[in-house]
Structure 1
Amino acid sequence: MKTLNVGLIGFGLSGRYFHAPFLSVNPRFKLKTVVERSKNEAQDFDPAIGNARSVEEMLSDPEIDLVFICTPNDTHFSYAMDALENGKHVVIEKPFANTESEAKQLFEVAERNGLVATAYQNRRWDSDFLTIQKLIRENKLGKIVEYESRYDRFRPEVLANTWKEKQADGSGNVYNLGPHLLDQAFVLFGDPQTVTATISTVREGGDVDDYFDIRLGYDDKFVIVKSSLMVYENSLRYAIHGTKGTFIKRGLDAQEETLRRDVLPNTENWGAEPEDRWGTLYSEEDTGIVCSLNGDYMAFYDSIYDAIVDGKELAVKPAEILRTTRVIDLAFESNERQTTISY
């Protein structure tokens, strides 16, 4: 079995708590090098990990096969382009790129060089989203007529110590949480016909958007994705209504909080969601609590390996990533013009 040598650019929340744990327990990968300009936190996680003090140093290593880009959003495009031009496959944290144009450029270079490039859309493997797909597949809800997906927080004070709260390309809540919510909606329902968005800054002293309401137009259903940093009771995650019933889901997938406790994803019953977060199905045929399927972010990494080593189709495909970046572009245009934009 071929082992892919991996380099991480950045070792913050994403690198440390999402990627490193999965890469460290999956025998198909070896986390070889992490770029940290001054710290040595990767070695605290695993002393066997090498350190690079610059992106250039890591990209010059011919043994590195695959690079994960886990840095602020305004650096994604340039780092990804450098990695691809140095012959490395790339996984880019969301957003994959800050515009559809940038995303197209990256895919053109990847295709020209015979490389794999994809976005880290791990929320496809959240426990609740896997459960929703199962309910729809089993026709428990009938034909979906309204789908609302929310990812809210209560953060009334603007944080001074994070790039996510400062003006820069790709900053703000639309770029932070929008790719997750939009990607999930597209997995379920495909391309929208129209995009209508309200994007705003609701907190006093805020420099970036912290509220969005994006409505995706389809012939036969209403699809709404929303997020705000000013929702005190922020447990509602999904409200889905169909011709046969309704599914209401509160609470978030447990994998992130488990990873933050330094629990590795090879533990027994990984991805199990606490029972108090399970959703409720309301219908004439079957009303009651629905046991959530286990979440499984490892499936994303296995897809990357299969695409690079065996030439299989990616789980998160370029066309799907381009669709998400396009809709984000259209959402900002819709908000600016205060009108509905055709997809």
Structure 2
Amino acid sequence: MSRTIQVGLIGFGLSGRYFHAPFLTVNPHFKLAKVVERHRNEAEAFDSSIQTVRSHKDLLADPAIDLIIVGSPNDTHFPYAKAALEAGKHVLIEKPFANTLEQARDLLELAKQKGLVAIPYQNRRYDADFLTIQQVLRENQLGDVVEYECRYDRYRPDILDSWKEKDPEGGGNLFNLGPHLIDQAIALFGLPQAVSGDVRIIRKGGILDDYFDVKLFYADKRVILKSSMLAVDNSLRYIIHGTKGSFIKHGLDIQEETQRKNILPNTPDWGAEPESQYGTLTTTNGRFTFPSQPGNYHHFYDNLYRAIVGEIPQEVTPEQALAVMRIIELAGESSRTKAVLEF
């Protein structure tokens, strides 16, 4: 039988307001019941049926809440998620899943013991570009992949007054954008044999890393994952070379931009990219424009619901969540030691 999952959301910043709340609102399997905001009432302004509470403990004490979404700063992910699991709640955790591999293991072991779902929010698996790449590979358009490069660049020359740029407990670009790129690579190619990393500060006055170049070594391919905060031209996203062809893709998925316009994700043609963002497929037969699959974060929440009610396993597996954390740690260690490290 269908049931409605009662949700408590910790934090109503960018993640809560523009990623979680809109999709929960239009999904009949979920009800966003309570939101933790320390001083504001922006969730109630978004939806008057939402109740504002001032502490995560208020959520944990509510027996009606089934799922806790941790959308607060990175240093709180582990303690809030652990407390939620101990209270018998499923947890969805914004990336990074935790600040260390050891913390991630602790959370997943606790979830397993209690029969609960603990999952990182890897929405970028459902971006238009990544769904399109999966189609390209599924159709064997490129042959055997020999090199895969993914970039997530921005141009942000000034240091923001934000924990993401100043708090060493989970701040920095590798923790911010790295989980997306690493998770996508693991979803496509599985676990690597070795990892190297170049993690640096490139902006004047920078406190935490704002550039990374992470390489994953496989027996038959190299995976290159890069991000810079000083890329004026930051449209390039993917370059993939195979034995039969190449695929190049520019432009960021439009779902976040659309949600910032206060458009709920139940509109026609949701996530459909403009033709100007379509990728280019080049083979020995010529060069072609390859239409994008529509981006669709609905798939993440649909899978989450079915995992919670026990119908199917969670698509972002515990093993993959651990692999992302291990690669982040190895990339940092590799950058410090200038060595290629076994996975």
Query: TM-score, structure 2 length as denominator?
Result: 0.99
Deviation at 1:167, TM superposition (A): 2.6
Q: Distance in 2 between matches of 1:291 and 1:168?
A: 41
Residue type at the aligned position of 1:168: P
SS at match of 1:310: coil
Residue of structure 2 equivalent to 1:73: 74
Q: Distance in 2 between matches of 1:12 and 1:132?
A: 30
SS at match of 1:58: helix
Deviation at 1:267, TM superposition (A): 0.5
Residue of structure 2 equivalent to 1:13: 14
Residue of structure 2 equivalent to 1:102: 103
Deviation at 1:112, TM superposition (A): 1.1
For residues 82-121 of structure 1, the aligned pairs below 5 Å read: 82-121=83-122
List per-residue Cα deviations over 1:227-270 (Å, max 9, x = no partner).
00001111100000111111110010111101111111111011
Q: Distance in 2 between matches of 1:166 and 1:37?
A: 21
Residue range with higher mean Cα deviation, 112-121 or 308-317: 308-317
SS at match of 1:281: strand
Residue type at the aligned position of 2:303: S
Residue of structure 2 equivalent to 1:27: 28
Q: Distance in 1 between matches of 2:198 and 2:224?
A: 11
List per-residue Cα deviations over 1:278-323 (Å, max 9, x = no partner).
1101112352111100011010001111011134100111011001
Residue of structure 1 equivalent to 2:142: 141
Residue type at the aligned position of 1:87: G
Q: Which runs of 4+ in 1 moved over 6 A?
A: none
Residue of structure 2 equivalent to 1:203: 203
Residue type at the aligned position of 1:7: G
Residue of structure 1 equivalent to 2:267: 267
Deviation at 1:168, TM superposition (A): 2.5
Residue type at the aligned position of 1:284: T
For residues 197-276 of structure 1, the aligned pairs below 5 Å read: 197-276=197-276
1:175 aligns with 2:175: yes
Deviation at 1:169, TM superposition (A): 1.2
SS at match of 2:309: helix
Residue of structure 1 equivalent to 2:186: 186
Q: Distance in 2 between matches of 1:260 and 1:83?
A: 29
Q: Distance in 2 between matches of 1:274 and 1:207?
A: 37
Count residues with an aligned counterpart. Answer: 342
List per-residue Cα deviations over 1:13-64 (Å, max 9, x = no partner).
0000000000000000000000011100000100000111111111100000
Residue type at the aligned position of 2:100: T
Residue range with higher mean Cα deviation, 105-114 or 173-182: 105-114
Residue of structure 1 equivalent to 2:313: 313
Residue type at the aligned position of 2:300: F
Residue type at the aligned position of 1:245: G
Q: Distance in 2 between matches of 1:102 and 1:182?
A: 18
For residues 276-315 of structure 1, the aligned pairs below 5 Å read: 276-285=276-285, 287-315=287-315
Structure 2 spans left out of the alignment, 5+ residues: none
Residue type at the aligned position of 1:8: L
Q: Distance in 2 between matches of 1:148 and 1:64?
A: 41
Residue type at the aligned position of 1:133: Q
Residue range with higher mean Cα deviation, 186-195 or 280-289: 280-289
Residue type at the aligned position of 2:307: A
Q: Distance in 1 between matches of 2:251 and 2:82?
A: 37
Residue of structure 2 equivalent to 1:335: 335
Residue type at the aligned position of 1:305: Y
SS at match of 1:287: strand
Query: TM-score, structure 1 length as denominator?
Result: 0.99
SS at match of 1:23: helix
